[in-house]
């Protein structure tokens, strides 16, 4: 019943709308029949001109506002595109030998371009120097890389990874680590020191292989470990 009442009212509104349109047509026809032209007084004409000037000023302000808004939109879009483009691009592009280091907002990535002629993979490498208290706990071997895990007596770990460099890639968090580039005996080491007493990372490339050590060790111990791999 209520739905029917609502529909009836809507139909009624439509009929009234049509009837009003017809009424206005008739009324305007009657008004147009009246003859004679009225000359408005000077004050009315003057006030109308003032209103016109006010509207003109408002239009000018609106126009200026529109132009500024359009400019602002264009600038914002340009900045958005630029910013988006910057986010997708490495902040720094660096290449040292075969190693290409790219820096992004949240991580650094390392890409290795060749093995320097190496084709046979040597999976016998291990630490020549093991920090006190650590022992080899597990080893994982594949055709192109090795992962070794060392554990200490107080349950701390060293993760040692290495493999043939060509077409390999590593990613390291750079938000919670301080980065330093180190050079010892002609080898460039990339050191990521943890800022939260977590794992620090040392990465380097040598003679066709990439190497990576993750451990809760200081820089000097990591370097010493890295320099004694055999």
Nearer to another protein by Cβ, of 76 and 169: the residue is: 76
Nearer to another protein by Cβ, of 74 and 169: the residue is: 74
Nearer to another protein by Cβ, of 5 and 138: the residue is: 5
Least Å from the CB of residue 32 to another protein: 7
Question: What is the C-alpha separation between 115 and 164, in angstroms, rounded?
Answer: 6
Least Å from the CB of residue 20 to another protein: 5
Nearer to another protein by Cβ, of 22 and 183: the residue is: 22
Q: Which of 47, 71, 114, 228 touches another protein by CB under 8 A?
A: 47
Question: What is the C-alpha separation between 57 and 59, in angstroms, rounded?
Answer: 5
Residues 49-108 that bind another protein (CB under 8 A): 51-52, 54-56, 58-59, 62, 66, 69-70, 73-74, 77
Question: What is the C-alpha separation between 148 and 42, in angstroms, rounded?
Answer: 100
Q: Under the rule (CB under 8 A), what is the footprint of another protein?
A: 4-6, 8-9, 11-13, 15-28, 31-32, 34, 37-38, 40-41, 44, 47-48, 51-52, 54-56, 58-59, 62, 66, 69-70, 73-74, 77
């Amino acid at each position: 019943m209520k739905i029917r009442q609502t529909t009836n009212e809507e139909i009624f509104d439509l009929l009234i709308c049509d009837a009003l349109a017809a009424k206005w047509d008739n009324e305007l026809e009657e008004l147009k029949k009246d003859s004679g032209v009225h000359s408005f007084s000077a004050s009315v004409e003057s006030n109308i001109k003032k209103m016109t000037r006010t509207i003109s000023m408002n239009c000018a302000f609106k126009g200026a506002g529109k132009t500024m808004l359009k400019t602002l939109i264009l600038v914002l879009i340009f900045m958005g595109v630029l910013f988006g483009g910057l986010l997708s691009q490495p902040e720094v592009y660096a290449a040292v030998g075969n190693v290409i280091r790219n820096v992004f907002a949240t991580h650094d990535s390392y890409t290795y371009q060749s093995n320097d002629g190496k084709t046979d993979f040597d999976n016998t490498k291990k630490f020549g120097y093991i920090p006190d208290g650590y022992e080899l706990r597990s080893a994982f071997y594949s055709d192109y890389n090795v992962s070794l895990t060392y554990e200490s007596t107080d349950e701390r770990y060293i993760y040692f990874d290495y493999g043939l460099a060509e077409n390999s890639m590593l990613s390291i968090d750079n938000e919670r680590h301080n980065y330093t580039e180190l050079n010892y005996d002609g080898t460039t080491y990339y050191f990521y020191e943890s800022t939260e007493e977590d794992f620090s990372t040392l990465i380097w490339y040598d003679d066709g292989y990439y190497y990576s050590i993750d451990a809760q060790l200081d820089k000097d111990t990591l370097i010493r470990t890295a320099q004694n791999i055999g």
